[in-house]
Amino acid sequence: MGRRGLPRSLVPGPPRRRYRKEALPALEVPVLPVTATEIRQYLRAHGIPFQDGHSCLQAPSPFVGASQLKDQTSATTSFSLFINKTTGRFLCMTSLAEGSWEDFQASVEGRRDGDREGVLLSEVPEAEDSEEIRRIWDRAIPLWELPEPKEAQLARVMFGLTKVTDDTLKRFSVRYLRPARSLVFPWFSPGSLRLRGLKLLQAEGQGDGVHYVETTVPRPGAYHNLFGLPLINRRDVEVVLTSRELDSLALNQSTGLPTLALPRGIACLPPALLPYLEQFRRIVLWLGDDLRSWEAAKLFARKLNPKRCSLVRPGDQQPRPLEALNRGLNLSRILRSALPAWHKSIVSFRQLREEVLGELSNVEQVAGVRWSRFPDLSRLLKGHRKGELTVFTGPTGSGKTTFISEYALDLCTQGVNTLWGSFEISNVRLARIMLTQFAVERLEEQLDKYDEWADRFEDLPLYFMTFHGQQNIRTVIDTMQHAVYVYDICHVVIDNLQFMMGHEQLSTDRIAAQDYIVGAFRKFATDSSCHVTLVIHPRKEDDDKELQTASIFGSAKASQEADNVLILQDRKLVTGPGKRYLQVSKNRFDGDVGVFPLEFNKSSLTFSIPPKSKARLKKIKDDNGLVVKKPSSGKKGAVPQNSKTCFQPDSSKPSE
């Protein structure tokens, strides 16, 4: 068995990508997105007619040959080029040419100069992927053709397909791969039945339940498609989007409505897929049965134009579609109860009461994504939540970048789409640190394992800004907004704020400049529903003093605007192990603050405490309700002044 449990003969090869015939020169700084107004002005200036759509502009395609134009019989089909209003990227539905806004401009202007081909994209032969896809597809067979009826029944039970008919599976061309015990969902090329990709869903027993493992060929990010796209008719005006292929099967069978499944579930909605959704006047998003699915649905509705979107709110009587089918619920009735994603204003509590009930009945999900490597941090902050601003500080040389990289990696491995802005160290060095933390071992001593770990690391939803050194805050914010739109980023790490100070006017007061930058990040986090972790250097303090919230460089605005303040203290706890400890000095979510020790493992570059040296922690309070530090072996230590809750080793039990 090879990577991800697939037989070695079926392990996907490296991704193959599409390249331009005449590549534009690479830029050190990412090209910022063009505005919709600029796109319209350019099209008018060059005499190109266009139609305004929900998320794209439609125009005649310069990539369609004369023979193809003869086949197009209406004005609608002749407008086969879709230009994204936010990014400027284009897709020609007829020729399947795609590229950036700069590619489109070069093509238009190249044709005027007599260059017929311009920068039309050409496909590099995807021999390795195509061969792998065909090999898997040919070995997979329909469930009803399995030689053993018991095997077919077991597969249906494992995947929850007991009420999904053979006709539904046949209509969507779903097959079963016996060697890997996986369902195989095909991705066909738009406009034809040419097989372009596959998603394999493997079911693994996990206690009393079932855990599903997904594998895609090509690998995630190399190719995007919508499951069920060939079944969509040009006259369809309504569609239901789901996060799983199994849900699409259940919905289509129960309601007869067109259904599509997103390629990466609730992780992201790639803008490259938006042109295929332009024809629909109404889109219902039914993505799952938890709050993360609900948040993703609201985020995706922004891309699709909220005015045409409706959302199915998770609830006990509104689970995910496959479960609803198995429970005998009326799926059509659930769809009719979908809430509009857009409204002019909220006029009463009545419109909010169901969401409030959802938060009260799902307290743990409301608290956010919990850290698996830092359980004590989860105990204090409760979780990582969207729309918040976290300020992180610590003494120079204490390991701020190393800690914050593991802090972010922990969340990224749990599906939190992360964007790193490292202005202090290069992306290569940062990626090396994070890869070592991911593998929890020194790969330079085991280079034979590098490809295995690098493949797994590459599949994480992790992206890096290409900035280095001093940068303008407006450029950084524009890049962050672009990343949120394109990659559905949920967490941005900025290391560190001081590298944006140099681009402000020299006559401007540095404190005022910092206040402006912090305010910009605060506004971005709120408006984009994205968590921002901002690293700020502290003021110079005496070596024998602990850092406090007031030690953060600049004015008090940074700590006032922040929802959370974390301080990496480089001093030994009086009664705890290790040289460093993390202090949570502000927690706007529920007020819990405190400290816990950290141990640095040099070989794996991790701060998560090894199990053998974990101290048992408990809360200690005095008669007045204040937290006090319990003395041990005659030594006394002062608690940080602004701590309300302090985790201390339990002296009644020996440390493990």
User: In the prediction, which pLDDT does 629 show?
Assistant: 43
Residue 124 has pLDDT above 50, yes or no: no
Order of strands, sheet of 182-188, starting from the edge strand that comes earlier in the sequence: 175-177, 182-188, 195-206, 209-217
Instruction: Taking residues 358-364, report their average pLDDT.
Output: 71
User: In the prediction, which pLDDT does 623 show?
Assistant: 40
| Sequence-separated contacts (24+) of 516-522 with Cβ below 8 Å | 516/473, 517/473, 518/554, 518/557, 518/558, 518/561, 519/557, 519/561, 520/473, 520/477, 521/389, 521/477, 521/494, 522/389, 522/561
Nearest of 185, 18, 46 to residue 108 by alpha carbon: 46
Collapsing DSSP states into helix, strand and coil, what is residue 533?
strand
User: In the prediction, which pLDDT does 216 show?
Assistant: 92
Q: Summarize the chain as % helix, strand, coil (round to 5).
A: 35, 20, 45
User: In the prediction, which pLDDT does 341 show?
Assistant: 85
Instruction: Taking residues 381-401, report their average pLDDT.
Output: 90
Q: With bands split at pLDDT 50, 70 and 90, how would you rate the model's confidence at 29?
A: very low
Instruction: Taking residues 322-337, report their average pLDDT.
Output: 94
Q: With bands split at pLDDT 50, 70 and 90, how would you rate the model's confidence at 242?
A: very high
Residue 11 has pLDDT above 60, yes or no: no
User: In the prediction, which pLDDT does 27 show?
Assistant: 34
Q: What secondary structure does DSSP assign to 170-196, as a single string?
A: HHTT-EEETTTTEEEEEEEPTTS--EE
User: In the prediction, which pLDDT does 287 show?
Assistant: 95
User: In the prediction, which pLDDT does 342 show?
Assistant: 74
User: In the prediction, which pLDDT does 252 show?
Assistant: 96
User: In the prediction, which pLDDT does 471 show?
Assistant: 79
Residue 296 has pLDDT above 80, yes or no: yes
Per-residue pLDDT tens over the stretch 559-612? 889 999 999 988 655 555 557 889 999 999 988 899 998 888 888 999 885 644
Per-residue pLDDT tens over the stretch 266-291? 999 999 999 999 999 999 999 998 88
Question: What's the whole-number average pLDDT of the chain?
Answer: 80
Let me know if domain 26-65+75-122 sits in CATH 3.40.50. Answer: no
User: In the prediction, which pLDDT does 16 show?
Assistant: 34
Q: What superfamily would CATH give domain 375-608?
A: P-loop containing nucleotide triphosphate hydrolases (3.40.50.300)
Longest pairwise C-alpha distance within the chain: 92
Question: Which residue type sits at 221?
Answer: G
Q: What secondary structure does DSSP assign to 217-231, as a single string?
A: ESPTTT----BTGGG
Domain residue spans of the chain = 26-65+75-122, 123-223, 228-364, 375-608
CATH code given to domain 228-364: 3.40.1360.10
Per-residue pLDDT tens over the stretch 446-490? 899 999 999 999 999 999 998 877 778 888 999 999 999 999 999
Range ranked top by mean pLDDT from 27-41, 356-370, 393-407, 466-480: 393-407
What is the number of residues in the chain? Answer: 656
Collapsing DSSP states into helix, strand and coil, what is residue 151?
helix
**SS3 per-residue string spanning 369-383:** ECCCCCHHHHHHHCC
The Cα–Cα gap between 319 and 341 comes to 19
The Cα–Cα gap between 243 and 262 comes to 5
User: What is the percent of the chain with per-residue pLDDT over 70, rounded to a whole number?
Assistant: 77
**Which tops the pLDDT comparison, 324 or 472?**
324
